[in-house]
Amino acid sequence: QMQLVESGGGSVQAGGSLRLSCAVSGYTDYRYAMAWFRRAPGKDREGVAAIDTDGRSSYVDSVKGRFTISRDKAKNLLLLTINNLKPEDTAMYYCAAERRWLTFLLITDDYRYWGQGTQVTVSS
């Protein structure tokens, strides 16, 4: 089992920045994929950014150039640095993990382990 706990969300003005953290515990050895998803009000959950232990990363087009996913291996953290926030980034952000190699990194149903979410609200 993997346990995931997100933090770092908040309310910011458009153009601002945030850094989301996901603390990972449980199974952290060998190969796994990790990702950030978000769900905006009235919309389906979408994959935002993902990374795996092979060094692959993937971003949804709407966040490329503004979001950066990374891992702090020493602290067992998954990070999401968000710059130039836009009102359309308002959503609940979830950390997800899967203990196997994934062909595509941003498919919701491929992930078994999820955190409880952290809210990001961007005002114009």
Per-residue pLDDT of 15-44, as tens digits, reads: 999 999 999 988 766 678 999 999 999 999
SS3 for 57? Answer: strand
Which of 21-35, 36-50, 81-95, 97-111 is predicted least confidently?
A: 21-35
Cβ(99)–Cβ(1) below 8 Å: no
**Residue 87 phi, psi dihedral angles, 5° rounding:** -55, -35
- What pLDDT score does 28 carry? 66
